[in-house]
Structure 1
Amino acid sequence: MKIEPQHVVSLTYDLYVNQQDGTEALVESATQEQPLTFLYGAGQMLPKFEEHLSTLSTGDNFDFKLSAEDAYGEYNDEAVTNLPKEMFDGTDMPEVGSVLPLQDNQGNRFQGQVVSVVEDSVIVDLNHPMAGQELHFKGGIINVRPANPEELSHGHAHGPDGHHDH
């Protein structure tokens, strides 16, 4: 079946990013046993990722690259910020490398990775972990099926066969 909006797509993929030495490293995978399953056209995936899949059908393979601009954006030095240490009163000081769940004044949730802890503040990088990187996807389409009414009303897939995986 061909991929179309309001269809549930299950696929496998290997995601590679470039290393400093020019080689590609595998950073993420979805397997036959645990495929990526999503409602196509619902805005859950990167738009350019979906665009590359738009002509495919069940059984097709794919191999494409997304520029940083089309993926998670260029790395933004201004997205590194200082959080006052007072924010962490009563809790353990976060460790360098840990990821903090944060929320802005509008209630939007996002994550920041702790870069360093200095005298009076915690320095956090709010860039997406894959910002500034070209993403190379290789994989295959396992299944394409029309979404059921519940999935369409919820705006997301309920597992490869249409049932909750709970």
Structure 2
Amino acid sequence: MAIENNNVVTLNYTLHTIEDNGEKTFVEQTTTENPLTFLYGVGMMLPKFEENIGGLLVGDKTSFQLAAVDAYGERDDRAIAQLPADMFQESGLPPVGEILPLQDNQGNQFRAVVMEVTPEAVVADLNHPMAGKTLNFDIEILAVRPATDEELAHGHSHGEDGTEGH
């Protein structure tokens, strides 16, 4: 079965970023024991990621690159926030480099990286950690199946066999 909208896709991937000098930097990798499973065509994945795997079959392998504009966007040097130190009274001030889970007024969740900590504020970079990066994916398709009615109603995959959480 070829990958198309409303299919549940299970795949393995290896992700590298491509540096300005052309060198690859390893980011992450899935395993056959813990693959990526998602509902194709409902906006869960980067559109260009889906475009590159559409029509593939189980066993197919592919490699592709996504420019920053097609992945997580370019870095915005203005996307820096000064978070008041008293926000961290309960948890304590985070160390530089820590990733903070944040939520905006609309309930959207995102992550920010701590750049600096002072007694008054925590300076955080709100750019996605992969912003400004060219991404290189090596993909192997492990399984493709039609989504169940419940998965379609929920808008996400319930795992490789459709029964996750039951």
Q: Same fold (TM over 0.5)?
A: yes
User: Which runs of no fewer than 5 residues in structure 2 stay unpaired?
Assistant: none
User: Which runs of no fewer than 5 residues in structure 1 stay unpaired?
Assistant: none
1: CA distance, partners of 2:85 / 2:18:
35
- Which residue of the partner structure matches residue 53 of structure 1? 53
Aligned residue pairs, count: 166
For residues 152-163 of structure 1, the aligned pairs below 5 Å read 152-163=152-163
Is 1:39 aligned to residue 15 of structure 2? no
CA contact (8 A) 2:19 2:133 kept: no
Is 1:121 aligned to residue 124 of structure 2? no
1: CA distance, partners of 2:85 / 2:113:
15
Is 1:15 aligned to residue 15 of structure 2? yes
- Which residue of the partner structure matches residue 110 of structure 2? 110
- Which residue of the partner structure matches residue 100 of structure 1? 100
- In the TM superposition, what is the alpha-carbon distance from 1:104 to its structure 2 partner? 2.0
2: CA distance, partners of 1:85 / 1:140:
45
* TM-score, reference length from structure 1: 0.93
- In the TM superposition, what is the alpha-carbon distance from 1:21 to its structure 2 partner? 5.5
* TM-score, reference length from structure 2: 0.93
Q: Which runs of 4+ in 1 moved over 4 A?
A: none
- Which residue of the partner structure matches residue 27 of structure 1? 27
Cα distance per residue 1:45-85 (max 9 Å; x no partner): 00000001112111111100000000000011111121122
Percent identity over the alignment is 52
